[in-house]
Amino acid sequence: MKSQNRTKRIVFSIGSKGGTGKSTFVLALADWLLSQNTQCVLLDLDIENKVKGSLKHFYPQAPKIDVHTPSGLDAFIDYLDGDCSVLLADMGASQGQVAFGWFDAMYESVAGLGISFTAIGLVTDDPASVDGLLSWAAALQHRVEYLVVENSISAFCNFVYWRESEQASRFREIFNPSVIPMRFRVPELEAGCRNHGVTLGQVASRQTSVSELQKTSLVLRAQSYRNELFNSIEEVRQVILP
């Protein structure tokens, strides 16, 4: 399978713990893909996150799909029909078993169509975020490429468990993931974007009518965060694009 030319890619978030920033990074990645004029489809698979923070809250065009059905993840394939080259899916924290079963049943056939996969895991200072990533990797194995985002959810994060534990070191040795940082954001900006369904790009380009997000200080911070993330994503574009 590895020798086949890859023409399309499915990129999806993984992890069994909520609150790690998966949706935050998926939003940034969606912003980057759209800035590249990539033919992409966004899917919101996190049915537990019904309103604020949901991918659909920020991108209304993203269908919200319940994958807890016999054919739920077949949406991966159906939405890749046509000219779309990248499908970006924000998955919920409780969807591991559904995803594992789908990969066991469907991976060989889907890979035979020239479709590749990238799994995005967010790690924080909380060891549980790393354990969630490792549990998904144990099931998915080499059927996907891995992108790990070191998310600084506070001003002082050192990622000790992710960087120094034997389990995480073994994961890096076996799967050779791409690793990028995501810097801590001031709560005023993060909460304002989440509450109003405004993306970082919209704040950075002053494309929002929300008064609290029009402050020059927040616009400048949004521009800085966005530029940093875009530069980091550029460095790993080989696991994002086909």
Summarize pLDDT for 15-49 with one digit per residue, the tens. 877 788 898 999 999 999 999 999 999 999 987 76
Return the pLDDT at 237: 97
Task: Collapse the DSSP code of 165 into the 3-class scheme (helix H, G, I; strand E, B; otherwise coil) and give the result.
Answer: coil
- Distance of alpha carbon 96 from alpha carbon 132, whole angstroms: 10
- Per-residue pLDDT at 2: 40
pLDDT for residue 17: 76
Quick check: 203 and 181 in contact, CB under 8 A? no
- Provide the pLDDT for residue 16: 74
pLDDT, tens digit (0-9, with 9 covering 90-100), for 89-109: 999 878 889 999 999 999 999
What's the confidence (pLDDT) of residue 44?
Answer: 93
Instruction: Tell me the domains of the chain and their CATH numbers.
Output: 8-184 (3.40.50.300), 186-236 (no CATH)
User: How much is the pLDDT for 228?
Assistant: 97
pLDDT of the residue at 52? 65
What pTM was computed for the model? Answer: 0.93
Which token pair is 123? 């790690």
11 Cβ neighbours under 8 A, 6+ residues apart: 29, 86, 87, 88, 89, 117, 118, 120, 240
Cβ-proximal residues to 29 (8 Å cutoff; 6+ apart), any chain = 11, 88, 120, 233, 240
Which segments in the chain show pLDDT lower than 70?
Answer: 1-6, 49-53
pLDDT value at residue 12? 96
